[in-house]
Amino acid sequence: MASLRTSSGIDSRFAAYVDRLGPVLGHADRSAPFRAYCTGLILPGERKSVEPMAARVAPGRVGAAHQSLHHFVAKAAWDDAVVLGAVCALVLPALLERGPVRAWIIDDTGMPKKGRHSVGVARQYCGQSGKQDNCQVAVSLSIATDHASLPIAFRLYLPDVWAADAERRARAGIPGDVVFQTKPAIALDQIRAAVEAGVPPGVVLMDAGYGNDTDLRDGVSASGLTYVAGVQSSLTVWPPGVKPLSPKPWSGKGRPPKLLRRAPGHGPVAVKALAESLAPGEWRPVTWREGTNAPLASRFAAVRVRPAHRDYWRNEPRAEEWLLIEWPESEEKPTRYWLSTLPEATPLDALVETAKLRWRIERDYLEVKQELGLGHYEGRGWRGFHHHATLCIAAYGFLIRERAAIPPSGPTPAGRLQATELPQGFRPRGATAPP
C-alpha cells in the first residue's frame, strides 16, 4: 500500500522488519495494512491519525487506504500483547549487542483529549500539560540498557467512573474482564507478565506515584526483582538500627500476642525528618552522567532503614533496605527520596546512577509522542486506542534497531523513509488550511 522511495536501504530493512512481525497478526490479509500503518507513523508529517497517514502512504487511493487502515486499527481482532511480545523479541537482540538490560521502568503518560467520549478520558493529572486536564492516561513498562530503552507493555488506565458505567463501556467496546485497577496494580500486572514471558530481568525503577504503593513494592520483590522506588517525603520508616517492638509477653490467658508494637518514643519517622537529622558527614557529592552542557551532579546520602507501613499488623519486621536521599547544596530541604532493595554492599554512586536511569522513559515518551504520533489517534474505542499504541511502539522498535546498528562513535544514521507528495488539495478533516 505504501509508496516509498529508496533511501540508503532503509526501506528494504523496514520491509524486512514488518514482514517478520506480520505472522503474529493472525491473518495474512493484515500484513499489508500493518506495513502501511507503521510506514505512516514513521513518515514525516504533523498528524499521525488515520486519514493523513492514508494520504501519505497511498496518495492515489486515499479513500480505500483510509478504510483499510481504519478497519485494521479500530476493528481487527489481533492481540496487542502478542504483537508487543514479538516486537520485544525482534528488538531485544539489537539492544543486548550494546550491553545487558539494566532496568525495567514503570511510568504513565497522559494524552490531552477534548470531549468525554474517547475511552478512559476524564479530568485527571496529565503529565504532558503538568496539571489536571481532560485526558487519557496509560501505564507502561519499558526495558532499558545503558544505550536505549523500549516499551514492552502499554495499558490504558480506566477511571472508576468509566469502569462502573455500563453504557459508556458498551459504546467504547471495553472488554467485560477489564475492571477498575489503580495504576500501581496495572504496573504490577505488567511486571508479572514480563517475568512470566522470560524478559531479561532488571532493577525495577519507578517514581513516587508508584513507589509509595507498598503492595507494588512487595509484589516486585515477590516476583524476584529488586527495585529503586521513588517515595514521598511523608512515607515512614524505622531509622537505622531501630525496629518495631516484639509482641507483648503472653499473660497466660487467651491467645499469645503475635503482632509487632510501637510505643511512645519508639516509632517510625517520616523520611523527610530522618533526612534532616543526618549529620553533615553523611552527605556526599555524586556525578551520575554527562548532561547536554555539563555533568549532572548533586548531593546524596544513603542509610539502611525498614519500611514501616502498617507493620503493626505483622508478626515480623520488614527487611532492611536502602533509603537514598537527594539534597542539592542550593536547596533548603531535601528534594527526592528512594527506597531500594539493591544489595547492602551497593556503593552510593551505584545507587544514584541506577535511580537516575529512569530518565530514559522520558525519551521514550517524547519520541513516541512527537515523532510517531502516540496521542494522535482520533477513534474512541478500547481496541483502537491500544492497537494504535502498539503500532507506535512497533515503529519505535524499528528506529531503535536502526540506531543500535550504528557504533557509539559512528555518524547519525543516513536516510529515512520518504513518501510521495500528498494529493493536490488534500485537507484532513478538521484542518483549517491545506497542509
**Domain spans, the chain:** 1-78+405-435, 207-359
Strand pairing class (295-307; 284-290): antiparallel
Query: Would you state the pLDDT for residue 293?
Result: 80
Task: Give the model's confidence band at 92: pLDDT under 50 very low, under 70 low, under 90 confident, else very high.
Answer: very high
Share of the chain above pLDDT 90, in %: 77
- Residue 327: burial class (beta carbons within 10 Å; 0-12, 13-18, 19+): buried
Q: Which H or E element spans position 102? A: none
More confident residue, 127 or 156: 156
Contact 159, 122 (CB under 8 A): yes
Strand pairing class (131-144; 103-112): antiparallel
Query: Would you state the pLDDT for residue 418?
Result: 52
Q: What is the mean pLDDT of residues 364-387?
A: 92
CA distance 54 to 65: 5
Task: Give the model's confidence band at 435: pLDDT under 50 very low, under 70 low, under 90 confident, else very high.
Answer: very low
Residue pointed to by grid coordinates 502478542: 82
CA distance 149 to 187: 17
Task: Give the model's confidence band at 111: pLDDT under 50 very low, under 70 low, under 90 confident, else very high.
Answer: very high
pLDDT tens digits, 238-295: 999 999 999 988 888 888 889 999 999 999 999 999 999 999 999 999 999 877 788 9
Query: Would you state the pLDDT for residue 286?
Result: 97
Residue pointed to by grid coordinates 517492638: 245
- Angle of helix 360-370 relative to helix 382-404, nearest 10 degrees, comes to 110
Task: Give the model's confidence band at 407: pLDDT under 50 very low, under 70 low, under 90 confident, else very high.
Answer: low
Q: Is 33 left (phi over 0), alpha (psi -120 to 50) or beta?
A: alpha
Query: Would you state the pLDDT for residue 130?
Result: 82
